[in-house]
Amino acid sequence: MEAALWTEKYRPKTLDQIVDQEEIVSRLKEFVTRGSMPHSLFAGPPGTGKTTAALCLAHDLFGERFQDVFMELNASDERGIDVVRTTVKEFARMASLSQVPFKILVLDEADNMTNDAQAALRRTMEKYTETCRFILCCNYSGRIIEPIQSRCALFRFTPLPESKIVEHLHNIAKQEGLKVTESGLKSVVEVAEGDLRKGINTLQAAASMSKGITEEAVYQVVGRAKPTDVHEMLTHAMKGDFIKAREELRQLLVKYGLSGSEIVRQIHSEIFRLPVPEKKRISLIEAVGEIDYRLVQGGDEEIQLSALLAKLASDA
C-alpha cells in the first residue's frame, strides 16, 4: 500500500469524473463554457465533494497549470481578519496571467471564519471582482453572514447514496488488490454515513492491517463496536436480564475501550432496527437522549449507561 492518502490519489481531476451531483456539475460546466463565473457558495455535509468540485472547476477553466491562478485556504486555520487583509487581499488584487481574466480563491471551512473576518471579506469580494472569483466552502450556509450569501451563487451538495459509495470503494479495492467481503464493505459504508472521504480513509486504514477487509477489521480501526454486539446487549436488557446486559456493556467499555458517547450513538442507531412497537421505540429514544445529555454534562459513563440498561430492563 502506498503511503499517500487514497482520498488524494483517487480524487476526480475534472468535472466529468464527479458522480451523483449532476445538477451542480451541469451548472459548473456552463461556467467553463462561458469562461466566466460569479462568486460561489458551496454548502453541504463533509465528504460530499465541495473542495473537489472547486479544484475540478479550476482545472477545466485554466488547464493543467491552474495552480498558477488558483489558491486554496482553509478558513478553520486561518480564520481571522488579518488573513483577509493580507493573504486574501494580496492574491485577489493581482491580475490573472492566464487567458481567463480572473483567478479563483477557495476558502474551505468558511463557516468557521469570525464575523469580523467575514465582514472584511465582503468588501474584498466586492472590490476585486474583476481579478478574482471567490468560492466559499462550508458545512452550514447559515453561519455565513447574509451580505456574503447575497453576493454568491449557492450550490447545495447532498450526501452520496450508498450505491455510489460502494461502487467507488469497489473500484479502489480492485486497483489496490484488496479482498473485500460484503459485510466488510457494508461496514465501511455504515461508518461513512454518506461521507465518501471518511469511507475511503476507513478502507485505507483497514487495508493497513490486512489485505482482507472484514467487518471485524473495519470496526477495529474506527474504534466502534460491532452492531451485533450492541444489538445483543439491548436484547438482553429488554428481556429483563440486566446483569447479562451490564456484562456486555463492560466488555464494550473496558475490552474495546469505547467511549460512553460512542456507545450511546450506536445504541441510538440500533434502536431503529429493533422489532418493537412504535410507542416503545419513542420511549427508548427519550431515554437515550436523557443519558446522552447526562454524559455531556460530565456524568460517569458506566453509571449512566448502566442506568439506561436498567431503564430498559425495568420496562421489559
d(CA 230, CA 249): 8
CA–CA dist 245, 312 (Å, integer): 10
What average pLDDT does the chain have?
88
Superfamily for the 6-156 domain: P-loop containing nucleotide triphosphate hydrolases (3.40.50.300)
Ranking 158-167, 218-227, 284-293 by mean pLDDT, the lowest is 218-227
pLDDT-above-90 percentage for the chain: 38
Confidence of residue 246 (pLDDT cuts 50, 70, 90): very high
φ/ψ region of 53 (left if φ > 0, alpha if ψ in -120 to 50, else beta) reads alpha
Domain ranges of the chain: 6-156, 162-222, 227-314
Q: 210: pLDDT confidence band, cut at 50, 70 and 90?
A: confident
305 pLDDT exceeds 90?
Answer: yes
- Rounded Cα distance between 106 and 55, Å, is 9
Can you give the pLDDT at residue 74? 81
Task: Please answer whether residues 209 and 220 qualify as being in contact, where contact means their C-beta atoms are separated by less than 8 angstroms.
Answer: yes
pLDDT at 115: 86
Instruction: Give me 309's grid cell.
Output: 440498561
The fold of the 162-222 domain, in CATH, is: Helicase, Ruva Protein; domain 3 (1.10.8)
- Please give the single-letter amino acid code of residue 13: K
Maximum Cα–Cα distance across the chain: 73
Q: Indicate the pLDDT class of residue 315, thresholds 50, 70 and 90.
A: confident
Q: What is the pLDDT of residues 279-295, one digit of tens each?
A: 889 999 999 999 999 99
* Residue 1 pLDDT > 50: no
- pLDDT at position 76: 62
State the number of CA atoms in the 13 A half-sphere of 147 facing the CB: 12
Q: Does domain 227-314 have CATH number 3.30.70.20?
A: no
pLDDT in tens, 32-87: 999 999 999 999 999 899 999 999 999 999 988 888 889 888 866 666 677 777 78
Q: Which long-range contacts (CB under 8 A, 24 or more apart) does 57-62 make?
A: 57/15, 57/28, 57/31, 57/32, 57/104, 57/135, 58/104, 59/13, 59/14, 60/14, 60/15, 60/29, 60/32, 61/31, 61/32, 61/35, 61/37, 61/100, 61/104, 62/98, 62/100
CA 37, 38, 44, 47 torsion-angle sign: positive
